[in-house]
């Protein structure tokens, strides 16, 4: 099977040839003919399987074949993504694929100039890639008219729900024409996604390249048990001496919270290991700089929250370290999907404290994979003492930070999805799927002064 046999036009095939792509992936093979026919599509596939090309290549052909010019303040194709990083990556791919199609492409997301967004949209664009929050802002300001959208794409729909974008999505869909093609992609298929798809899709074709919530086959999945206070020492050993059989290249470390990510970076620096953090409190230039240094290899350790789990597409990530296990088991799938990309192998190491064992149980139940337990390194105890001596822990600081992060101790039963949205300077909102936010704890804020909820009604749409 080749891209040419799938029915793509010559300009798109020429762009693919320049990128060195000659064989479509399974999700592309199944999706492209359906999208070319103009049918709605529900695609279930893990990250790193080629989903962007699966919807972008045939959509470019359909836009060119229609031979229309975008009207002022309008777009012909709208792609919604949950994070800034993912929106930027989709836009980069779109520009590569459409370089011979002469289509206008723009991106809008939080952390960038609103005035610049307005200027780019003023003359109209063919393809607009956006995060829901900024898109709603521009529509409310009259800078964007969605009545001419021919193709709507929801990418990583399950994470949009986790981040609390359901209200923004409902508003956006209400501004779209009823006659349109809708393409819906998700890595997992919980009930909330099925309900959403049933509302937005009309007689869709369904394609799936892997069962929902399965983990990458080429990722070796390990778990090490230790106390919460000992994780920093274990991470230091892993980064300095390696862990498991594969040599470490770029290492992506995941924490549950923003404060936790910053704390890991500070303590690594105290032991002489350079790293960067990326999360929702970082400005857009800071996030871009951290990703660039990680891609280039000048900083080989990147510490991230789940907001970046599906927004980082960096080749050469040899290891993913779950410094803290996610309290939403689906996020584990997305985290470890950052390694073993483009056919490579990868290793995922999870540090599990006693209070996180329920999270581990949920992850193994969801993925149907039993993580292989590995023993702690021989020099582990010595490293624990050394790390304490270099950066002595302040119990009051640790307790305060964990309270700010929403940690309630081991007796709290893991709750379903509920990560806070990646908003620029806004209060955290609860997801429509329930549970405590994954980035900040709105309940803690309310107990301290009542700033955790906006207004008196439903939470406002999350801004990205």
Angle of helix 84-97 versus helix 10-19 axis, rounded to 10: 110
**pLDDT over 50 (residue 180):** yes
Q: Give percent helix, percent strand, percent coil of the chain, each to the nearest 5.
A: 40, 15, 45
- Range with lowest mean pLDDT among 132-146, 211-225, 250-264, 439-453: 439-453
Burial status of residue 340 (CB atoms within 10 A of its CB: 0-12, 13-18, 19 or more): buried
Mean pLDDT of 380-398: 71
Provide the pLDDT for residue 363. Answer: 93
Confidence check: pLDDT of 179 > 90: yes
Give the three-state DSSP class for 115: helix
pLDDT of amino acid 240: 87
Encoding tokens for residue 71? 């009207």
Please determine, for residue 425, whether its predicted confidence score (pLDDT) is greater than 50: no
Q: How confident is the model at residue 110 (pLDDT cuts 50, 70, 90)?
A: confident
Same CATH topology for 4-208 and 219-404? yes
Q: What is the pLDDT of residue 11?
A: 93
Please give the Cα distance from 173 to 169 (Å, whole number).
6
Q: Which of 9-23, 174-188, 339-353 has the lowest mean pLDDT?
A: 339-353
Nearest to 332 by CA among 309, 300, 307, 356: 309
Q: In a 3-state reduction of DSSP, which class is residue 341?
A: coil
Least confident span in 232-246, 281-295, 348-362, 412-426 = 412-426
Name the pLDDT band for 282 (thresholds 50, 70, 90): confident
- Whether the predicted pLDDT of 407 surpasses 50: no
pLDDT, greater one: 464 or 314: 314
Provide the CATH topology of domain 219-404: Rossmann fold (3.40.50)
Q: Which two three-digit tokens encode residue 34?
A: 């359906």
Taken in order 201, 202, 205, 211, is the CA torsion positive or negative?
Answer: positive
Residue 243 banded pLDDT, cuts 50, 70, 90? low
Q: Is 191 helix (H, G, I), strand (E, B) or coil?
A: helix
CA–CA gap between residue 248 and residue 229 (Å, rounded): 24
**What whole-number distance in Å separates Cα of residue 400 and Cα of residue 76?**
49
pLDDT at 430 over 50: no
Radius of gyration of the chain measured on its C-alpha atoms: 22
**Of 164 and 323, more confident:** 323
Q: Identify the residue with better confidence: 210 or 441.
A: 210
Give the separation between CA 386 and CA 178, rounded to whole angstroms. 63
pLDDT at 309: 58
The two three-digit tokens of residue 365, written as one number: 């139940």
Q: What is the DSSP string of 386-417?
A: HHHHHS---HHHHHHHHHHTT---TTSPP-S-
Other Cβ atoms within 10 Å of 118 Cβ, number: 16
Q: Read off the pLDDT band of 193 (50, 70, 90).
A: confident
Between helices 191-200 and 166-174, what is the axis angle to 10°? 10
Nearest to 433 by CA among 414, 415, 456: 415
What is the CATH architecture of 4-208?
3-Layer(aba) Sandwich (3.40)
d(CA 351, CA 226): 7
Q: Are 124 and 106 in contact (CB under 8 A)?
A: no
Statement: residue 5 has pLDDT above 80: yes
20: its two tokens: 């060195």
Helices and strands (DSSP H and E) totals, the chain: 17, 14
Q: What is the mean pLDDT of residues 203-219?
A: 74
The highest-confidence range among 118-132, 160-174, 190-204, 343-357, by mean pLDDT, is 118-132
pLDDT range class, residue 448, cuts 50, 70, 90:
very low
pLDDT of 464 reads 46
Q: Which stretch of 34-38, 52-56, 215-219 has the lowest confidence by average pLDDT?
A: 215-219
**Distance separating alpha carbons of residues 464 and 461, to the nearest angstrom:** 10
Q: What percent of the chain has pLDDT over 70?
A: 78
Predicted pLDDT of residue 214: 58
- Using an 8 Å Cβ cutoff, are 438 and 306 in contact? yes
Region of residue 406 (phi > 0: left; psi between -120 and 50: alpha; otherwise: beta): left
What are the angstrom distances between the C-alpha of 231 and each of 225, 249, 267?
9, 21, 11
pTM of the predicted structure, to 2 decimals: 0.65
Q: Which residues contact 389 (CB under 8 A, 6 or more apart)?
A: none
Residue 76, both tokens: 């012909």
Q: Are strands 301-304 and 181-186 parallel, antiparallel or unpaired?
A: unpaired
Residue 171 CA to residue 356 CA, distance in Å, equals: 37
For residues 316 and 265, is the Cβ–Cβ distance under 8 A? no
Domains of the chain: which residue ranges? 4-208, 219-404
Say how far apart CA 278 and CA 237 lie, in whole Å.
22
* 75: DSSP letter: E
Question: What are the pLDDT digits (tens) for 125-153?
Answer: 999 999 999 999 999 999 999 999 999 99
Asked whether the predicted pLDDT for residue 218 surpasses 80, the reply is no
pLDDT tens digit sequence for 248-275 = 788 999 999 889 999 999 999 998 999 9
Residues 6+ apart with CB under 8 A from 5: none
What is the average pLDDT across 39-55? 87
- The CA-based angle 199-203-209, given to 5 degrees, is 95
The answer to which of 135-149, 230-244, 291-305 has the lowest mean pLDDT is 230-244
What pLDDT does residue 217 have? Answer: 67
Q: Give the pLDDT band (50/70/90) at residue 442.
A: very low
pLDDT reading at 419 higher than 60? no
């Amino acid at each position: 099977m080749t891209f040419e046999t799938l029915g793509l036009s010559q300009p798109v095939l020429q762009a693919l040839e320049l990128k060195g792509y000659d064989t479509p992936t399974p999700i592309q093979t199944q999706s492209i003919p359906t999208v070319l026919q103009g049918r709605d599509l529900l695609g279930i596939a893990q990250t790193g399987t080629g989903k962007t090309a699966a919807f972008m290549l045939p959509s470019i052909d359909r836009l060119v074949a229609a031979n229309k010019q975008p009207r002022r303040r309008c777009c012909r194709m709208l792609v919604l993504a949950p994070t800034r990083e993912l929106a930027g990556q989709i836009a980069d791919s779109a520009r590569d694929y459409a370089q011979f199609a002469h289509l206008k492409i723009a991106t809008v997301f939080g952390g960038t100039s609103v005035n610049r967004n307005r200027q780019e949209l003023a003359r109209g664009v063919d393809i607009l890639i956006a995060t829901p929050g900024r898109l709603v802002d521009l529509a409310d300001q009259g800078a964007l008219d969605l009545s001419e959208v021919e193709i709507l794409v929801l990418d990583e729909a399950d994470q949009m729900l986790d981040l609390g974008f359901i209200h923004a999505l409902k508003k956006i869909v209400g501004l779209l024409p009823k006659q349109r093609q809708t393409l819906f992609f998700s890595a997992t298929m919980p009930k909330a996604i099925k309900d959403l798809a049933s509302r937005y899709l009309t007689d869709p074709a369904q394609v799936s390249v892997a069962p929902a919530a399965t983990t990458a086959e080429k990722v070796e999945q390990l778990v090490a048990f230790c106390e919460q206070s000992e994780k920093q020492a274990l991470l230091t050993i892993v980064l300095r001496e390696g862990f498991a059989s594969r040599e470490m290249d770029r290492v992506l470390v995941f924490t549950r919270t923003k404060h936790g990510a910053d704390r890991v970076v500070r303590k690594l620096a105290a032991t002489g290991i350079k790293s960067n953090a990326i999360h929702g409190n970082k400005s857009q230039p800071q996030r871009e700089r951290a990703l660039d240094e990680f891609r280039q290899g000048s900083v080989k350790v990147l510490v991230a929250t789940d907001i970046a789990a599906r927004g980082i597409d960096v080749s050469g990530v040899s290891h993913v370290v779950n410094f803290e296990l996610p309290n939403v088991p689906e996020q584990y799938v997305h985290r470890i999907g950052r390694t073993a990309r483009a056919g490579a192998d990868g290793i995922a190491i999870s540090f599990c404290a006693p209070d996180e064992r329920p999270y581990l149980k949920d992850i193994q139940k969801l993925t149907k994979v039993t993580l292989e337990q590995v023993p702690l390194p021989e020099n582990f105890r010595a490293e624990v003492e050394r790390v304490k001596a270099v950066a002595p822990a302040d119990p009051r600081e640790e307790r305060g930070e964990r309270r700010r992060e929403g940690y309630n101790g081991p007796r709290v039963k893991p709750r379903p999805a509920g990560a806070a949205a990646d908003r620029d300077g806004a209060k955290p909102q609860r997801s429509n799927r329930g549970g405590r936010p994954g980035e900040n704890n709105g309940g803690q804020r309310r107990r301290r002064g009542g700033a955790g909820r906006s207004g008196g009604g439903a939470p406002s749409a999350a801004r990205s």
